[in-house]
Amino acid sequence: MIELQGLTKRYGERLAVDDVTVTVRPGVVTGFLGPNGAGKSTTMRMVLGLDRPTAGTALVNGRPYAEHRDPLREVGALLEARALHPGRTARAHLQALAATAGLPRARVDTVLELAGLTAVAGKRVGGFSLGMGQRLGVATALLGDPATVVLDEPVNGLDPDGVLWIRTLARRLAAEGRTVFFSSHLMAEMAVTADHLVVMGRGRLVADVPTGEFIRRAGGDGVRVRSPRAGELAGLLTGPDVVVESAERGVLLVRGVPAEVVGDRAAEAGIALHELTPVQASLEEAFMALTADEREYRTEEQPA
């Protein structure tokens, strides 16, 4: 478990992380989202004891990371996959870490196989592709068979097979009761991997909710209705919590009521329906909507 309480970090006058309180629980995959400059990497660095908080605390399994006697057995992390000695082989890199942490040598072969690197274990990592480096970084994070796994952009540079591997691995680790906390800018992948989302913007906590609720909160749920009497149906559906938009001629997008209610209202009025389809916004659309005012960097094409 990761527990952040009032976590704050300042760099001079710049407030990078602003009073963040959140708990990342075991047994679920928790995705960590935010625009560039939101404070995600700084937060992860404080969790791992690489940066000292200006205020607040970051605990891993009940204590600061630096206070664990066997930190690699408590938390495995991937922050920068290329932070490796280029002259070492993949196996030598893992063996050195295992020896330093008092881990069994057999664990090296286990994580090499898990990461699909057995065939290139004797190759110098300086010649690895970005994707191979990412796989070695994940293998390194799992070397101590940790209870908590922190991965920063683990799918960066991976091919489709590698992306599927990370997704399957993350869900398997969570199913084993581990804490899985990972960031990514690939919204489509996050949508099918994360059970829960922690979202930051400009250093502040924007959301801490299940993935489905995050999308619904952004107005992502709705019903697409097509009818020759769309205007009349729109009048029957209006209410204090219902939003009816005219998407195109004869087509409505209704938010605030389920498809069953729309169908019942139409049937009661004898209105023919040519389409009645529940729709849901993508995670990307929900993310863009909820972080519209939290982006530090904008292009000229983006609305203010």
Strand-strand pairing, 251-255 and 221-226 = antiparallel
Confidence of residue 271 (pLDDT cuts 50, 70, 90): very high
Give span(s): CATH 3.30.70, the chain. Answer: 221-280
For domain 2-216, give the CATH superfamily.
P-loop containing nucleotide triphosphate hydrolases (3.40.50.300)
Look up the pTM and report it.
0.80
How many Cβ atoms from other residues are within 10 Å of residue 54's Cβ? 14
Does position 91 have pLDDT exceeding 80, yes or no? Answer: yes
- pLDDT tens figures, 177-229: 999 999 988 888 899 999 999 999 999 999 999 998 888 776 557 899 999 99
Q: Give me the helices (H) in the chain, please.
A: 40-47, 71-74, 90-101, 106-114, 130-141, 160-175, 187-193, 211-217, 230-237, 259-268, 283-290
Assess if CATH 1.25.40 describes domain 221-280: no
Q: What is the pLDDT of residue 303?
A: 46
Mean pLDDT of 17-30: 97
Give span(s): CATH 3.40.50.300, the chain. Answer: 2-216
